Amino acid sequence: MPLKKGHKIRNSGKTRFKKGQIPWNKGLKGYLPVKKHDWMPKGEDHYNWKGGRSTYGYPKEWNTTFLDSIRQRDSYVCQLCGIHQDELSIGQVKKLDVHHIDYNKDNCDPSNLLSLCRNCHVKTNYNRKYWRDYFKNA
């Protein structure tokens, strides 16, 4: 079949496959089932297990008015990095987070709470023993 004006030959003979070679995926349909993270411990054996505390909600006094009073007490400034609430530009987050120093949701004593920006709050969720000691000694 002759080529039309302006068309190029698509297969110039420079392919990775040789004539008669069987493709690697002949007879396979879709992806092979792979079990991901079988080695990862589950439930109580996982290193981040906190006794199932994530399923518990916050107490009744944990409301917008209470959280705003903690932010106002801290002058709307992150107690770790010092950024002001008006300078926050992380997506739609416009307010500082309120952090429990002892990581106990039920302990709503104002001396146990402080204002943190989202970046600093995420940092404090790892190596909790270090951060608990850091904020208690500060």
- Give the pLDDT score at 35: 65
Predicted pLDDT of residue 12? 62
The whole-angstrom separation of Cα 59 and Cα 114 is 17
**Least trusted range by pLDDT, from 9-18, 66-75, 119-128:** 9-18
Single pTM value for the model: 0.58
Q: Are 62 and 106 in contact (CB under 8 A)?
A: no
Kindly indicate the confidence band of residue 6, based on its pLDDT and cuts at 50, 70 and 90.
confident
CA angle 61, 56, 99 (to 5 degrees): 55
Q: What's the CA gap between 138 and 134, in Å, rounded?
A: 6
High-pLDDT (> 70) share of the chain, %: 78
Q: What's the distance, Cα to Cα, between the start and end of the chain in Å?
A: 83
Q: How many CA atoms lie within 13 A of 81 on its CB side?
A: 15
**Mean pLDDT computed over every residue of the chain:** 81
